[in-house]
Amino acid sequence: MKVLLRSHLLPAAAMMAALMFLSAFWLPQGTFQSCNSSWRPCLFLYPPTHKPRDHVAYRRDAVAMGGLVLGDGFLIEECPGQAFQVSRLLFHLSSALGPGSDILLDPYLSGWEELIRFMESLGPLVSLFSYKVQEKIVLLRQIQAEDAENAAYSSLHSMMEAELLRGVVSFDRHAPSGCRTLLRLHRSLRWLQLLLEKLAAGPDADGRLATPGEMCREAYREVLAPHHPWLLRRAAEAAFSAMPQRAVLLRLVCVERQEEAAPVLERLIGAIGEVHSRTHNALQDRGMLDLP
């Protein structure tokens, strides 16, 4: 009887331990200077220090259409009744494309704040991952505000050069820096890009559509799992098992059927891909892709 009881309780206890371990990653972990009181919550937002600018290939027409008109004339409308809006995300992503291959940090972080709304729409368990992303956004917003006079954190390239010059980036030990924080966001952006690519892919050779849980799990194993400890990976697997149906994801991009989603997802994946590619190249050129 004791053996039977133990066999039922051990898996549940292991999963509870995994979720408790994961919850430690959601707690505020402090910031570089200001958030050092043990009782003080760290999850507060800083206002952007720069206004997002319109990219040449996009124009905002919220008064007339309540959405976004792309350079090719494709209209992405606001989707009523939900927090996440593809039009806002595309606007922020396009505004983040700075001169040359640079990324402007304010619209980049605003894009992430919209992506958090997307993550929170995927269910209560999955939305808990957004707390860790939120914390990274808060950290970057805070060091932006603390360095507002120098404007070193206005763009990706200026942040990297400033932190390398100041010696705050460590290549051999865990040390807080804007570059290290952004690297973690960069990996998560690739996870979301892969998820959207899988959502846009349609049915397989047998006509079967992958479930959101399967898509999230495959993307996670490819991008994020190699950087996470075993217990965190187990907790992630449990969260993906509670993902909503594919129809929920389609409604998030304001469509009802799979075939309607392709034009929207194609443009969204392309915009995320451009931001990710620029960020990846900048990190790679400076040897920062594996910061501890």
Instruction: Please give the Cα distance from 66 to 122 (Å, whole number).
Output: 24
Instruction: Please give the Cα distance from 232 to 225 (Å, whole number).
Output: 9
DSSP string of 254-282, one letter each residue? T-SSHHHHHHHHHHHHHHHHHHHHHHHHH
Query: Is 285:157 a contact under the CB 8 Å cutoff?
Result: no
Beta bridge partners of 69: 59, 75
How big is the CA angle at 189 (ends 184 and 191), to the nearest 5 degrees?
Answer: 100
**Whole-number pLDDT of residue 1:** 52
Instruction: Please give the Cα distance from 217 to 93 (Å, whole number).
Output: 25
**Nearest to residue 191, comparing CAs of 254, 110, 129?**
129
Output Rg (C-alpha) for the chain, integer angstroms. 20
pLDDT tens, residue order, the chain (292 aa): 544 444 444 444 444 444 444 444 333 333 333 333 322 333 333 344 434 333 334 444 433 346 787 777 788 888 888 999 999 999 999 999 999 999 999 999 999 999 999 988 887 666 667 888 999 999 999 999 999 888 999 999 999 999 999 999 999 998 899 999 999 999 999 999 999 999 888 777 787 888 888 888 888 888 888 888 888 888 888 877 777 888 888 889 888 888 888 899 999 999 999 999 999 999 999 999 999 9
pTM of the model: 0.78
SS3 state of residue 59: strand
Residue identified by tokens 């190699």 is 226
Alpha-carbon dihedral angle through residues 268, 271, 276, 281, given to the nearest 10 degrees: 150
Burial class (CB in 10 A: 0-12, 13-18, 19+), 12: exposed
Instruction: Please give the Cα distance from 3 to 161 (Å, whole number).
Output: 60
Instruction: Please give the Cα distance from 83 to 81 (Å, whole number).
Output: 7
Taken in order of first residue, the domains within the chain and their CATH numbers are 121-285 (1.10.3520.10)
Instruction: Please give the Cα distance from 140 to 148 (Å, whole number).
Output: 12
